[in-house]
Structure 1
Amino acid sequence: MQQQDARPVAQRPSDEPDRVTVRGLRGYGRHGVHDFEREVGQPFVVDLTCWLDSRRAARTDDLEATVHYGHLSQAVLSDIENEPLQLIEALAERVATTCLSFQAVGRVEVTVHKPNAPVGVQVDDVSVTVTRSKQP
């Protein structure tokens, strides 16, 4: 006869959603307002945080009950590498829309970094951050 696990289940405050975070996702894209940016391309780095309720996944140890961050990362990489856009704001919006297409994700924060942005002065990084949620 198996003994039941008597440990109490941790409760999360209802106002504190769970998060899955991916940092430093690197891809090569042809985004930018200058012709040379679209011709040659450059590296882009994406950080994202997805808010979701992971309690069922934690209880059942079932990947289907959460967001598969491998699949999510591949989808975001495709967003970076595919159809060129002029603005990193537009790329951030594209990535946010992709993240929200995953069933478990209710809200997302996306930061797109353009470390080699041609701004005419030396900078370490240029980035745009957007936060988006699914419509209720």
Structure 2
Amino acid sequence: METLDWITVQGLSATGFHGVYPEERRDGQQFVVDLELGLHVVTDTDDLHDTVDYSVIAGDVVAIITGEPVDLIETLAGRIAHRCLAEPLVSVAKVRVHKPQAPMGFTFTDVSVSITRSKQ
């Protein structure tokens, strides 16, 4: 079994217009994304080219959150995972999309979807 190292980015937050209800598409709401990127980290070169630039990935994830609306956070998570796997060194992408203001009509702390995708 392959051993991977992990780069984690937690709490990326942006306003998106995703959801199945018209008010979600009209008003927008906060979405929060956590990422875990599985790769082999080279630790002896101290060179950015031997890893992933997580600030670039984070910027692209925010652009996905604020970009073209989708109905489901599952779809949003899939788009984000696809972007993460576009990095040549990333073998596995674990993505959690939080929708803490989901219109459920109940008191709750958070609702989220977690997916794991890999190149294999």
TM range, normalised to the smaller chain? over 0.9
Kindly report which structure 2 residues correspond to 1:33-72, keeping only aligned pairs within 5 A, or say none: 33-55=20-42, 58-72=43-57
Match of 2:60 in 1: 75
User: Given residue 28 of structure 1, which amino acid in structure 2 is its aligned partner?
Assistant: T
1:118 aligns with 2:70: no
Match of 1:100 in 2: 85
**Structure 1 residue runs without a partner (length 5+):** 1-13
User: Given residue 24 of structure 1, which amino acid in structure 2 is its aligned partner?
Assistant: G
TM (normalized to structure 2)? 0.97
Q: Supply the distance in 1 between the matched residues of 2:61 and 2:50 (Cα, whole angstroms).
A: 20
| Deviation digits for residues 49-79 of structure 1 (CA, Å, limit 9, x no counterpart) | 0000012xx1111101111010010010011
Alignment counterpart, residue 84 of structure 1, candidates 69, 74, 86: 69
Q: Supply the distance in 2 between the matched residues of 1:40 and 1:98 (Cα, whole angstroms).
A: 26
TM (normalized to structure 1)? 0.86
User: Given residue 104 of structure 2, which amino acid in structure 1 is its aligned partner?
Assistant: V
CA apart distance, 1:17: 0.9
User: Given residue 76 of structure 2, which amino acid in structure 1 is its aligned partner?
Assistant: L
CA apart distance, 1:15: 4.0
The CA RMSD over aligned residues, in Å, is 1.0
Match of 2:17 in 1: 30
Q: Which has the larger radius of gyration?
A: 1
Q: Supply the distance in 2 between the matched residues of 1:47 and 1:59 (Cα, whole angstroms).
A: 27
Q: Which has the higher contact order (CA 8 A, sep 6+)?
A: 2
- Counting aligned pairs with the same residue, the percent is 47
Runs of 4+ in 1 over 3 A off after TM superposition: none
User: Given residue 59 of structure 1, which amino acid in structure 2 is its aligned partner?
Assistant: D
